[in-house]
Amino acid sequence: RNQESSSSGHYLAVVLSRLANAVTPLWRLPYQEQLQVKYESQRKILQTLASRLEELGIDAQKPGGLCCPLQPVVPSPIINGYRNKSTFSVNRGPDGNPKTVGLYVGTGRERNIVCVKANHVENIPSKHKQVAQCYEEFICRSPLDSCILFHEGGHWRELVVRSTSCGHTMAIVTFHPQQLGQEALATQKALLKEFFTCGPGAVCDLTSLYFQESTMTRCSHEQSPYQLLHGAPHIFEELLGLKFRISPDAFFQVNTAGAEVLYQAVGELCQASGDTVLLDICCGTGTIGLSLAHRVSKVIGVEVVEKAIEDAEWNAAFNGISNCEFHSGKAEAVLPQLLASWEDARPLVAVVNPSRAGLHYRVVRAIRNCRAIRRLLYVSCKPEGEAMRNFLELCCPPDPRKKLTGEPFAPVLAIPFDMFPHTIHCELLLLFTR
């Protein structure tokens, strides 16, 4: 029995270490060493960009083989527990519990996936871990199975926890209805609400509790509406002196304190004057545009998530900002129409903050072909990925075959921001001018 206990303890220690190494691979390094690792990573990216531009016939080599000067990595004001959004999965744990709430280790291809509690992961705040533990307790009490593979049945799935510096906490439970009728679904929602309001889960003191019926890996609000079971429909965050409303699926930078530092730098590099128009592409809830609205004559925001645009408009009104307009829709559909007939004589500065998928080619083409845009700030969470394609499209020579007729941009400055301590990732702010 002692040998079994020792073996079990060793296995758990190995799994916990594997999770920490997978989610926060730099967690063992002192923070200054983490920043140096990230600086070297960003330097290689800029070297790659310089080489790729050279292949296009553009003389982009600067000292060190970089395409532009690279500043040191700006550190995060908060190093541990900085995440304001965490996504927890439900699957079999190291002890065999099929209702373990945590993060995955392993791969489907090797069939060695195990779900490990995230209590020791340093970038997740204790409040999120508390909600995850309570959710696990609830589904373990439930007679309904967890939904590990859709075709094998089961119901209880993902948990998303969002929190703010104002002390607000939102929990979103994803549930696969399978063949359950409306009455049975109503019963499960009532039990979930009771657990988090009157039962053991009340200790979480949730501001909002949402429930989403989802038959897919991910569903938007339009595909399957978020159902508010308890509390307020939104949580609120304060950033750079403004108050922002956040919906369940609205994008908000995962490190709020880090976002403040990033947005201040964006504001400085915009070199905006009183008559500048700021074009905020992939604007989310409007954080960048609204935080800079006092520096410019007008802000125009574009965002695909409809609920995020509703939040952006509310945020503008609540903060007394009247020089902003927001457009809901895919940037590749909205932006070309917006810029094709642009005749405003005021200076136009563009800020883009896309997802890891980068910008659609039609968005890049619209920016290139709009002569009024002389200054562009590109914020990328994965510059070595699809964003690299965008950088090349922005800087390549004109190509009439691709309807890319506008004057090319050139990278002039790069600043990395450590928005994700303990991980290998950081946010790169690249300034392009022409």
Catalytic residue list: 381
User: Could you tell me how far CA 117 lies from the centroid of its own chain?
Assistant: 22
Task: List, as residue ranges, the binding site.
Answer: 253, 303, 353
112: phi then psi, degrees, rounded to nearest 5: -125, 30
Judged by phi (left if over 0) then psi (alpha if -120 to 50, else beta), residue 178 lies in left
How far apart, in whole angstroms, are the C-alpha atoms of residue 262 and residue 258? 6
- List the Cα angle 61/62/66 in 5-degree steps: 80
| Cβ atoms within 10 Å of 251's Cβ, excluding its own | 20
Backbone dihedral region for residue 255 (phi beyond 0: left; psi -120 to 50: alpha; all else: beta): beta
Residues in the annotated binding site for S-adenosyl-L-methionine:
253, 303, 353
Helices 126-141 and 182-197 cross at an angle (nearest 10°) of 130
Q: 300 forms bridges with which residues in the sheet? A: 279, 325
Query: In one letter, which amino acid is 188?
Result: Q
Q: Identify which of 336, 280, 332, 335 has the alpha carbon closest to the alpha carbon of residue 308.
A: 280
SS (H, E, C) 280-319: EECCCCCHHHHHHHHHCCEEEEEECCHHHHHHHHHHHHHC
For residue 326, give every residue at least 6 positions away whose Cβ sits within 8 Å of its Cβ, in sequence order, or none. Answer: 283, 286, 300, 301, 302, 303, 309, 312, 313, 316
Instruction: Say if residues 206 and 233 touch (Cβ distance below 8 Å).
Output: no
> What is the rounded CA–CA span in Å between residue 327 and residue 355?
18
Q: Are strands 85-91 and 100-105 parallel, antiparallel or unpaired?
A: antiparallel
